[in-house]
Amino acid sequence: MLALRFNKTGSLDELSIQDVPKPVPGAGEMLVQVKAAAINPSDIKNVLGKMHETTTPRTPGRDFAGVVVEGPAEMVGVPVFGTGGDLGFRSDGSHAEYVAAPAAIAVAVPKGVSFECSAVLGLPFITAYAALVSAAGLQAGETVLITGTTGAVGSAAVSVAVALGARVLGTVRSAAKIPAKSPVSGWVNLESEDLAVKVRELTGGRGADVVFDVIGGAMFEKCLGSLAHRGRQVAIASGPERRVSFDLIDFYHNESRLFGVDSVKLSFEETGAILRKLSAGMESGIYPPPAEEGILRIPLEQGVQAYRDIAEGRVRQKVVLIP
């Protein structure tokens, strides 16, 4: 079968399309014929050697959608999607014609949702759920600030927060980026507005109960300054500069809580359980998939160039590889 493959990390020059043996599923596993597989930023970091879990040689790819061709009898022939665990890091991932993974990861593709849309749902939604629900314990009636609101994880987080009954505040880089239609109740224009000042203005001086920071770096301290008393902040990413600083006295006087969430640490069982909890909402539209026009379909054979285009910022759409 054809697969993207790298024998060592450090450069995208190490990535190539190769003909490799089709994986053989082990006990408790399934073999999926991949119909679509999203490329996530962490897949690129994987090849570049920034994911310490990775062993080589390796086929990258965390998200997938396809049809089960081997495995438990009740699953064979079922269209499924999934993500998570060490897929693409310590076990071969989905950027191939076939992928073997634990059956626990599989969730039926929501009715009316294409393979391509299903392939981009997994990682953003498990990350948003793990951050807002598992870590921060977001409750109905609370206010949550989500940075990077219009991105894949940010958009998923908005859907999860709204479904929980929370009020959502979002950020954009400029006024032109504010969506015409959105459940976000208040926007902060980072081009012209101070984050903490605007958040307190939107909350009557109180601040946000929860801040979900998907950007990190210079945004980290600004997000802390936006927290209400005993507010909870969740970080999932870092800017190029890994180290951040903040006023420790302000932090403990506010009795702020800080959580880190790493989606790679979620097991196959955990990611499968999260997606099963959300799957009915994905089917009903509570957790909507991205618009079809927001997905760029690229043949698997052109996957190396797709990695380069994403890494160099030449692509704005969500890229999905099609074997």
Per-residue pLDDT tens for 261-271? 999 999 999 99
Phi/psi at 298 (nearest 5 deg)? -125, 130
| pLDDT, tens digit (0-9, with 9 covering 90-100), for 200-219 | 999 999 999 999 999 999 99
| pLDDT, tens digit (0-9, with 9 covering 90-100), for 74-101 | 999 999 999 988 999 999 999 999 999 9
Residue 180 has a pLDDT of 85
Residue 34 has pLDDT above 90, yes or no: yes
Phi/psi at 322 (nearest 5 deg)? -115, 110
| pLDDT, tens digit (0-9, with 9 covering 90-100), for 99-128 | 999 999 989 999 989 999 999 999 999 999
pLDDT band at 9 (very low <50, low <70, confident <90, very high): very high
Residue 221 has a pLDDT of 95
Which residues are within 8 A (CB) of 180 and not within 5 positions of it... i.e. 6 or more apart? none
What average pLDDT does the structure give for the chain? Answer: 95
Residue 115 has a pLDDT of 96
Which residues are within 8 A (CB) of 72 and not within 5 positions of it... i.e. 6 or more apart? 30, 103
Residue 163 has pLDDT above 90, yes or no: yes
This prediction's pTM: 0.94
Q: Assess contact for 30 and 68: CB atoms under 8 A.
A: yes
- CA dist 113 and 292 (Å) reads 10
- CA dist 86 and 124 (Å) reads 16
What is the percent of the chain where pLDDT is above 90? 90
pLDDT band at 158 (very low <50, low <70, confident <90, very high): very high
- CA dist 96 and 30 (Å) reads 15
Which residues are within 8 A (CB) of 267 and not within 5 positions of it... i.e. 6 or more apart? 84, 85
- CA dist 222 and 220 (Å) reads 5
Q: Assess contact for 259 and 235: CB atoms under 8 A.
A: yes
Residue 175 has pLDDT above 90, yes or no: no
DSSP symbol at 131 = I
pLDDT band at 220 (very low <50, low <70, confident <90, very high): very high
